Amino acid sequence: MAIEKDLLDQLLLGRDPAEVFAKNGLVDELKKALSERILNAELDAHLQ
């Protein structure tokens, strides 16, 4: 599944392109958000 261009535009809006891959930049924020979502889904499935 591809990520929609509009969503990427929203994520990049107002960000310095040089900081996207920097420590605590967009990529790190996305990894954290995805990890939390996955862990919460696993916990919910386990508790059901």
**Tens-place pLDDT, residues 10-36:** 999 999 998 999 999 999 999 999 999
Tokens representing residue 46 in the block: 């386990």
Q: CA angle 5-11-13, nearest 5°?
A: 100
Domain boundaries, given as residue ranges, for the chain: 17-47
Q: Would the pLDDT of 1 be above 90?
A: no
Q: What is d(CA 48, CA 40) in angstroms, rounded to the nearest whole number?
A: 12
Q: Which pLDDT does position 46 carry in this prediction?
A: 80
Question: pTM for the full model?
Answer: 0.76
Q: What is d(CA 5, CA 12) in angstroms, rounded to the nearest whole number?
A: 11
Q: Which pLDDT does position 47 carry in this prediction?
A: 82
Higher-confidence residue: 4 or 46? 4
**Average pLDDT estimate for 1-9:** 93
At what angle are helices 5-12 and 26-47 packed, to 10 degrees?
120
Q: Would the pLDDT of 44 be above 90?
A: no
Q: What is d(CA 46, CA 3) in angstroms, rounded to the nearest whole number?
A: 28
